[in-house]
Amino acid sequence: MDQLPHVLWIGGPPGSGKTTVARLLARRHGLRWYNSDAHTWEHRDRAVAVGHPAAIRWEKWRGLDNATRAATPLAEQLEMWLHHERGPMTVDDLKALPSSPMIVAEGTQITPEVAGVGPRSVWLMPPADVRHAWLEERHKPNGPPPLYLYLGEIIEEDVRRAGGRTLVLDATTSVEQTIAQVEQLFRDALATGPKAETTAERRALLRYANRAIVSQYRAFFARPWSPDGLDSAVASFECECARPECDEFVERRIVDFPDPPDDAFEPVLAARCAALENASR
């Protein structure tokens, strides 16, 4: 998009690996990772605040029993999912962020209409049978929500019709292979930047991504139909050591995550990375 030339876009159906690829790409290259899942409840609150009928209906629907929800037609579920509405909200989010360093944004709501079909967008597109198998594995033992499979078909058709650039993955494609292919597709943008260079800059980006997860959990547990459990909720946070090659996570209770401001924060470190830092002092 001309209005967001500093954004790299990664779209695709549920379960296609967008989040993993975007997270690692951002870490390795010093980019800001925009995690769309972390903004789900914020977007829903925004839609409810302006009186969006499907968003209001979904909040009531989500509080119903499982059998009633499962009987709801998929077309109606998709409408309440806010698939198309969340695209412009994502654009607004990205406009509000600093333009340096570059941003890698991922999510199912990143459609060709949102991202354009130029050299800074790509859709990860496993064949339907592979996609289904990956979702089955992720959602054991009950299997994935049928909406995820239906949404995948919608996204696949939208991208095909718009002529969006796709990266076809199969059951043997590893994460590292996918990242290498995405890096090749984005090579010109990655070569020119801007990117975070210093440890402090990289740590600030990791803290941004981790704090988005905190906000996601707090917004979920604030809903009237959610279970009572924020005090015990635990999430996996990225290690804030800032080493590009690190792929460690830190398990921490949401309520124990450091409060802002973050201008002089102590990084959240995995045990191995904390030991490395202590040894270097």
- Both 61 and 181 in a single domain? yes
Domain final residue pick, 147, 173, 192: 192
Helices (H) and strands (E) in the chain, counts: 13, 7
- The domain containing residue 181 runs over which residues? 7-192
- Both 17 and 82 in a single domain? yes
DSSP 212-253: HHHHHHHHHHTSTTS-S-GGG-EEEEE-TT--TT---EEEEE
- Both 146 and 50 in a single domain? yes
Q: At residue 262, does pLDDT exceed 90?
A: no
- Both 183 and 206 in a single domain? no
Nearby residues of 266 by Cβ (< 8 Å), 6 or more positions away? 258
How would residue 236 be classed by pLDDT, with cut points 50, 70 and 90? very high
Please state which of the ranges 96-100, 138-142, 196-200, 238-242 shows the lowest mean pLDDT: 138-142
pLDDT digits (tens, 9 = 90+) for 52-99: 999 999 999 999 999 999 999 999 999 999 999 999 999 999 999 999
- Both 188 and 204 in a single domain? no
Domain final residue pick, 142, 169, 192: 192
Domain final residue pick, 127, 161, 192: 192
Q: Is residue 1, in this structure, part of any structural domain at all?
A: no
Give phi and psi for 225, each to the nearest 5: -95, -5
Under DSSP, is residue 34 helix (H, G, I), strand (E, B) or coil? strand
How far is the C-alpha of 254 from the C-alpha of 41, rounded, in Å?
Answer: 16
- Both 157 and 209 in a single domain? no
Query: Quick check: 99 and 171 in contact, CB under 8 A?
Result: no
- What token pair was written down for 33? 């990772």
- What token pair was written down for 196? 């975070």
Residue carrying the six token digits 């499979």: 149
- Both 75 and 209 in a single domain? no
Q: Say if residue 224 is preceded by a cis peptide, omega within 30 of 0.
A: no
How far is the C-alpha of 130 from the C-alpha of 93, rounded, in Å?
Answer: 32
How far is the C-alpha of 247 from the C-alpha of 253, rounded, in Å?
Answer: 20
- Both 171 and 220 in a single domain? no
Other beta carbons within 10 angstroms of residue 175's beta carbon come to 12
- Both 59 and 160 in a single domain? yes
The number of angstroms, rounded, from the C-alpha of 160 to the middle of its chain's C-alpha atoms is 22
Half-sphere exposure of 152 (CA within 13 A, CB side): 24
Query: Quick check: 254 and 234 in contact, CB under 8 A?
Result: yes
Considering the chain, what percentage of its residues have pLDDT values greater than 70? 99
Specify the DSSP class assigned to residue 73. -
Q: Give the number of domains in the chain.
A: 2
Query: Quick check: 240 and 268 in contact, CB under 8 A?
Result: yes
How would residue 259 be classed by pLDDT, with cut points 50, 70 and 90? confident
To the question of pTM greater than 0.75 for the whole model, the response is yes
- Both 42 and 178 in a single domain? yes
pLDDT of residue 91: 97
Q: Is residue 188, in this structure, part of any structural domain at all?
A: yes
Q: Is residue 203, in this structure, part of any structural domain at all?
A: yes
Tell me the β-bridge partners of 34.
105
Q: Is residue 47, in this structure, part of any structural domain at all?
A: yes
Nearest to 183 by CA among 5, 16, 31: 31
Q: Is residue 251, in this structure, part of any structural domain at all?
A: yes
